[in-house]
Structure formats: C-alpha cells, structure tokens
Amino acid sequence: MSREAAVRRATDHFDQGTFREVLARRVAMPTESQNPDRADSLGAYLEEEMVPELTALGFTTEIMTHEKANGPFLVAERIEDPALPTILGYGHGDVIRGLDDMWDEGLSPWRLTEKDGLWYGRGVVDNKGQHSINLAALKAVLDERGSLGFNAKYLIEMGEEVGSPGLREFCRDHAERLKADALIGSDGPRLSAGRPTLFLGSRGGVNFDMWIDAREGGRHSGNWGGLLSNPAIQLAHAISILVGPTGQIRVPEMVPPELPASVRRVLKDADIMEGPEGEEIETWWGEPGLTPSERVFGWSSLEVLAYEAGTPKTPVNAIPPRAWARLQLRFVVDVDPFAVLPAIRRHLDRHGLTNVRLELTREAIFQATRLDPDDPWVGYTSASMAKTTGKPTAILPNLGGSLPNDAFSEILGMRTIWVPHSYPGCSQHAPNEHLPPAIAREGLALMAGLYYDLGENPPAR
C-alpha cells in the first residue's frame, strides 16, 4: 500500500482504455441544459452514470430538486469518521448546446472521437471529463488503501451552463449536509496545456445593455445630417468614456483599489505566453503597469460583446434612430457588482450623456471570489501536485472566467481549490470541443496523489 501504487492504479485506468470507455458513454448523453427538449437527459445522467459510480465507491446518494433550479442535483456522502477532515467535490453534468452542424467533418458532439491525437466531444472538458477524472482518482485511492482517510461529499448539478439557477439557494437550504473543510473541484482550463494549475476562485461577471432611442424612424442623412443627433456616434462616445483606446477602465468603481501583494507574488510564476490559438498577446492592451497575468487574474476587464445601429447588413443613407450595445465587466474581489451601474450612470451624466439608458441583462451576476494564496491549503495542494508530476504548479488567485464559486466560498463558508483538467485552446462552448488525452492521464495521477495525501497527512483544520 503506497502513494505510488495509488497513482499507478489511476494511470492504469487510463492506459487500459477504461477511462475513455466511461467518458465516451457520458459524452453520448445529450445533456444540453439550454435545450428544454433535453430535460430527460439531465436526470438520466445522474441516475444512470453518477449514482451507480458513487454507490460503488461507498457513497450514499440522493437526487434532489429545487424550485428555482433548471435541473436536479445529486448529493453524495461517504463519512468514514466524523473526526476526519471532510472534502466536498463538485461537478456539473450539463453541457452547452451541441451545435451539431458546426463541427468538423467526421466529428459529432455526441460521439467521443479521436483525431490528430485529441479527443473530441461535447463535455470532454466541460465538465464530464473533469469530474470523471476526479471520481476515478478517488476509486484508485480506495482500491489501494481500502479507505480514503477523510470524509467525502459530492455535489453534481445539471444547470451550470444556464447560470446555475437555484444552486445558491440549494446550498443555503442544505448547508449543514454539504458542510466541509474545503471544496476541491475541477473546471475551467489550466494556464497552459503542459502546466498543472491550481486556482482559488473566479472573477465575477456582470452583463449590461447601453442604448439610445433618439426618435421614431431613420432620417435621410443628406437632408438631416448636421441637424439631428446620431445615436450611434453618441453611444460610441459613451463607451469611450468607460474604457479608453488601450483598454483601460475609466470608472474607479469597476476596478479593485489595489492588487494584493499575495496575488502579485503567485502571478510572478504564472506568465501567459500566448493565446489559445497561439496568437501573440497584445501587451499594450489593458491596465497600464500590470503584467498580462495580473490583468486577467488580478484585475477587471470591460468588453463590448455586441454593437448595433442602423441596418448593418444592408446600410442605407439614413441617420439611425437607435443604437445599442451589450457590455460585460469581468471583475475581481473588492468590486461590488451592484454598484457598477449606478457608478456608470453618474459617470455618463457628468459627461452630459444623460440620454444613454442602462439596464442589467437577464444573465445571473456571478460574484467574484478568491481564497487567499497564503492559505496553508494552497501550499499543501500545490506541493502534492508537484510531487506527482515533477512540475512546478501554477497558482492562480482566481480563474479569469466565472464559476458559481460563491455558493461554496460565501454561502457554505469553505476554502475553494480548483484543479483544472483542460487547457485554453480546448474550444469549450464552441464546436470541436476537445481534450488532449495527456492532460486526462496526468489529471488522474495528480488527483490520486492529492486524495492519497489528504488521507495520509491532511492540512491542519
């Protein structure tokens, strides 16, 4: 009985083809939470895939619902000794729409296909592949040691891809049942394909619309040009006073007051070398004085997602009556998302743009969260991963994107540690979603090592 043997069991699970068989079966289930016609698949994924696996691992399981949720929840518990630390695992079995017709020839979102050394299929990284890796690693430790050496709980939801409706309320209602010392989950990408990564929370996200309704109907640009205001020009100016020509945000309430020293420290060893498709990073864009990593993982960014005025596909010689834009703020802790729109309103009014209207979109606001990089569990987890892989672990204070991490860090009040098993170029949410199998194999090894360590010598509680 040894750590090395547990890790070897996990990699054997991959090498013998068993992991691929399990993942292929799960990918074949079209669990599109954005598609109401797939509602039966959401429950079937839990009943046919998750319950049998967790039951075989000695968990008690219960499928539960919540009136605000888009799909069911699975709660699983394996309590070995109440005096031991408790780890909560998390995953989501729903996937983004398949976009079947947009995949490359020979590929399908509902069939795991190997092509050019990559595994393709919807959910191979987001998130079926990731929680399948973690569950298989738990099994490797159980098979090797006969016990975990800690208590384990698992929560799997089926509505993450539609904003996790009801998750926070569910966690609040069942806080005692879900109580744990730490969340250890897997979602999102690594810093790069070859760099094992640990992140401690996520940036928040708030989407809002800006628009100007100037008048009913367009007006001839020759007869009326110079006499009537152009809402497209005015809206462009409104955006330009929120974010400058090099991407610097100009509204103080939309950025944090400072970059904490602990965040700067861990990001010194987390350089972003290139974009997901190998494109060069534009170092001149964003907040001056920050490195690219600090801009993504330590600061806020404001993006224009869409802009429309007139008839873009068939322009005519008319002053448009209306202009509209959708913007998105990705923000870090110490930014209050509910103060953002009032601050923008004041900022626009000070500049005389009182005719610009603002409104939050229907998407849920994701809160920003971050576990302190100096927390002892961070160093413990990083060291365990490095011991298994022989590689330095990249520590990110938070993911650049957004996750419902606040359900765990704020509502359940626990440490949150994420170990992703994907990479930035995986085409998550797009056609041709794929997973490099080397990441899956390494993920199985490092998670088995981490779970073994937690049962052998866990951090102080």
- What is the residue range of 182's domain? 3-202+368-456
Angstrom CA distances, 91 to 4, 95, 162, 206, 365, stand at 26, 11, 14, 23, 20
Q: Residue 159: give its domain's CATH number.
A: 3.40.630.10
Please give the Cα distance from 423 to 187 (Å, whole number): 10
Structure tokens at 288: 């001056």
In a domain, 246, yes or no: yes
Same domain, yes or no: 32 and 79: yes
Same domain, yes or no: 214 and 197: no
Same domain, yes or no: 306 and 404: no
Given a cut of 50, the residues of the chain with pLDDT beneath it are none
Same domain, yes or no: 253 and 162: no
In a domain, 273, yes or no: no
Structure tokens at 361: 């979109």
Structure tokens at 193: 């394909």
Structure tokens at 84: 């031991």
| Tally of structural domains, the chain | 2
In a domain, 353, yes or no: yes
Q: Residue 293: give its domain's CATH number.
A: 3.30.70.360
User: Are 331 and 300 spatial neighbours (Cβ–Cβ below 8 Å)?
Assistant: yes
Same domain, yes or no: 155 and 302: no
* The pLDDT value given to residue 276: 58
> SS3 for 280-334, per residue?
CCCCCCCCCCCCHHHHHHCCCEEEEEEEEECCCCCCCCEECCEEEEEEEEEECCC
In a domain, 294, yes or no: yes
Domain end point (choices 338, 360, 382)? 360
In a domain, 410, yes or no: yes
Domain end point (choices 337, 360, 383)? 360
Residue showing tokens 């708030």 = 206
Same domain, yes or no: 223 and 89: no
Question: Which helix H or strand E contains 211, and what residues bound it?
Answer: strand 204-213
Same domain, yes or no: 11 and 154: yes
Please give the Cα distance from 172 to 407 (Å, whole number): 8
User: Are 172 and 410 spatial neighbours (Cβ–Cβ below 8 Å)?
Assistant: no
* The pLDDT value given to residue 272: 85
The pTM assigned to this predicted structure is: 0.92
In a domain, 279, yes or no: no
Domain end point (choices 360, 387, 410)? 360
* Bond prior to 457 in cis (omega within 30° of 0): no
Q: Which residues pair with 114 in a beta bridge?
A: 119
In a domain, 276, yes or no: no
- Comparing C-alpha atoms, which of 203, 181, 197, 8 is closest to residue 85? 181
Same domain, yes or no: 215 and 341: yes
* The pLDDT value given to residue 160: 95
Main-chain phi, psi angles of 367, to 5 degrees: -75, 150
Same domain, yes or no: 337 and 413: no
Q: Running DSSP on this structure, what letter comes out for residue 408?
A: I
Same domain, yes or no: 332 and 378: no
